[in-house]
Structure 1
Amino acid sequence: MSNQKQKASLLDLTLILSNAVDLINPILHNHHKQVAYIAYHLAKEVALEEKKHNDLLIASLLHDIGGLTLEDRLLTLQFEVEKPYQHAITAYLLLKNYDALQDVATIIKYHHLPWENGEGQTVGDEIVPFESHIIHLADRIAVLINRDKEILSQVNRISRLLEAQNKKMFHPTIIKAFNKIKFKESFWLDIVSPFTDYRIRRMWIGNSSLLDLDDLIKMAKIIGQVVDFRSRFTALHSSGVAAVAESIAQRCNWTAEECRKIRIAGYLHDIGKLAIPNNILEKKDKLTLEEYNIVKAHTYYSYYLLDSIDALREINEYASLHHERLDGSGYPFHHDEKSLNEGSRIMAVADVFTAITEDRPYRVGMPKEEALGLMEKMANNNALDHQLISLLKSNYDEINSIRSSAQKQALIEYEGFSQEINTIRSYDDDEEMFDHSSYSELIYIGRVQ
């Protein structure tokens, strides 16, 4: 089995996810990258060990991915965040099982922990990473910036607000570092510069190691979970699409490597849905025309998020064109059969098949005859590929069993995740004030460790 290196790095995949979660509202545009830039310069000033710089960069770019809804994300933009540990620990839970991101997950878990005159050095018997305190200050600097006003005129106000909370909220060494670099106009102008991607890439120390297919699959699965776990309505969808697409590709005599690529595409195909508000995604009634148009934009976002990485071009074509139709009636590009390759056609079939056969909280999946009837009708109308529908029909029970098994495993993962999140939220309801002791207690509740 070929497992060649793909020319995509951990930083590439991180930037895709970071950009995606910042799409949900214009207020959040570039927030993660601004925090990464500030954290990088604070780290340089305090002479953070070089080997820790890259984990700090990744953690900064992903620090708010635990804000699974727009409301969660907007709350993090308050200077004194109410119950900040909820989204921090949610992000930790999403990332901690991927070996390459375990240290990153721990940094993010504590990125809102206040210094509290030194109490913030540890939580229980765990040492809090110094990088967590760097991101804490960097994040608070970023949220104090008024995007509607000229940046240099805001420096004194931001400095006063930070100094007022020095010993309570922030590590004194990091505050000293900020006080040294705050006089550089370039520091502030870079934060609000439109050229952040270029600067972020230059912050990476050493060569950015390329991911092989195994690591791409792991990272793509994490991204799929960030997309799916926002809503119980779609919590299992990407895992089902990935499994079905891979199974169909195998029956089309694709190579093992090609099948793994389309599995990756299945995990990534709905990444653009991170830009769609939850109230629309979870609406049980028929969508209004405006709401439907908002949903249709998700494939456009998916395409351009993935298109930023040349090495993912093939995977992108499979992933992002899953709502295109052979007769040209799909969206967002209205490609037709002349321009849709076999991978895009497989993904379209896998997406429809998974969507209609999977159970969701508000309805059960279609039975076999009804599902096949609908898909054959779509093939007869030249929306889906006839040959692929015939292949699906001939192998229906086996492919459906593969979908079901993949989604049962995803359900176990989602229920475990949900149980931990509900523990956090129930504690959140009981606590009136956030402090070091409440953070410490929460970390050791249930299975959070």
Structure 2
Amino acid sequence: GVSQVAYAIAERMEYSEEECRKIRVAGLLHDLGKIAVATEIIEKKERLSEAERADIRTHAYFTNLILGHISGLEGIVECASGHHENHDGSGYPLNLVNDGISQEMDIIAYADIFTALSEDRPYRKGMSTDRIIQILQDEFLTKHGEPVYQVILNHLDELGSICKVSVQDGIARFHCYQNLADTQEQLIKERVNR
């Protein structure tokens, strides 16, 4: 979802193929730090408490910490871990403002938001394009800058299709892996019972 949408946005903003690939990798890794957050909080279907929201916010810091130890990810680490930074300084983990936030961070931020609003979630259905536009305009435009927002507006249907295809692909892959795991488990049981 996020990585494919981020890649598509970067392409439409005429980034080089290499830059688009880096942005896609950042999109794949942007929530890696959630492995440091309690599963109960990540999977909670009800509204999070203030303490739980604070725990969730640590994931951007942990994404930076984990990826920062891997050589060869220069330029990707900041992009992946900075997707919750806002131009007005209200973001996290570093409370960066304006020039401290790259357009690549904005691309990941918008891709993350767009994907979250578009996709079905356990607690709600995916939103209509009109509703997505309204939320992006009212709640995110001043926090993440206009250039990426304009690309989303100009390619809304296309980006929505990318989201849907990536969800379907993810579900298909999950079922494939689940079938492989079930088959492997059955083979192990058969060998043990011989």
Shorter-chain TM-score above 0.5: yes
2:116 to 344, 349, 355: 355
Report deviation, 1:340.
Answer: 0.7
Secondary structure, in 3 states, of the residue corresponding to 1:290? helix
Secondary structure, in 3 states, of the residue corresponding to 2:92? coil
1:334 to 95, 98, 102: 95
Aligned AA (1:403): C
Q: In 2 relative to 1, CA 277–420 (structure 1 residues): closer, same or farther, beyond 3 Å?
A: farther
Q: In 2 relative to 1, CA 273–422 (structure 1 residues): closer, same or farther, beyond 3 Å?
A: farther
Q: 1:297 and 1:246 mapped to 2: Cα distance?
A: 25
Match of 2:171 in 1: 411
CA contact (8 A) 1:353 1:371 kept: yes
- Matched ranges for 1:377-388 at <5 A: 377-380=138-141, 382-388=142-148
Sequence identity percentage: 34
Aligned AA (1:313): E
CA RMSD, 1 decimal: 2.1
Match of 1:372 in 2: 133
**Residue 252 of structure 1 pairs with residue 3 of structure 2:** no
Q: 2:104 and 2:147 mapped to 1: Cα distance?
A: 13
- Matched ranges for 1:82-121 at <5 A: none
Bigger Rg over Cα: 1
Report deviation, 1:379.
Answer: 4.0
Q: 2:76 and 2:190 mapped to 1: Cα distance?
A: 41
Q: In 2 relative to 1, CA 440–326 (structure 1 residues): closer, same or farther, beyond 3 Å?
A: farther
**Residue 298 of structure 1 pairs with residue 59 of structure 2:** yes
Report deviation, 1:360.
Answer: 2.2
Match of 1:282 in 2: 43
Structure number having the greater helix percentage = 2
Report deviation, 1:420.
Answer: 4.8
Unpaired segments ≥5 residues, structure 1: 1-239, 428-436, 443-449
CA contact (8 A) 1:375 1:384 kept: no
Match of 1:440 in 2: 191
Q: In 2 relative to 1, CA 378–386 (structure 1 residues): closer, same or farther, beyond 3 Å?
A: farther
Please report the TM-score for the alignment, with normalisation by the length of structure 1.
0.41
Matched length: 192
CA contact (8 A) 2:118 2:163 kept: no
**Residue 344 of structure 1 pairs with residue 105 of structure 2:** yes
Report deviation, 1:332.
Answer: 0.9
Q: In 2 relative to 1, CA 388–415 (structure 1 residues): closer, same or farther, beyond 3 Å?
A: same
Aligned AA (2:159): I
Report deviation, 1:421.
Answer: 5.0
- Matched ranges for 1:41-440 at <5 A: 240-380=1-141, 382-420=142-180, 438=189, 440=191
Report deviation, 1:293.
Answer: 1.1
Q: 1:347 and 1:244 mapped to 2: Cα distance?
A: 9
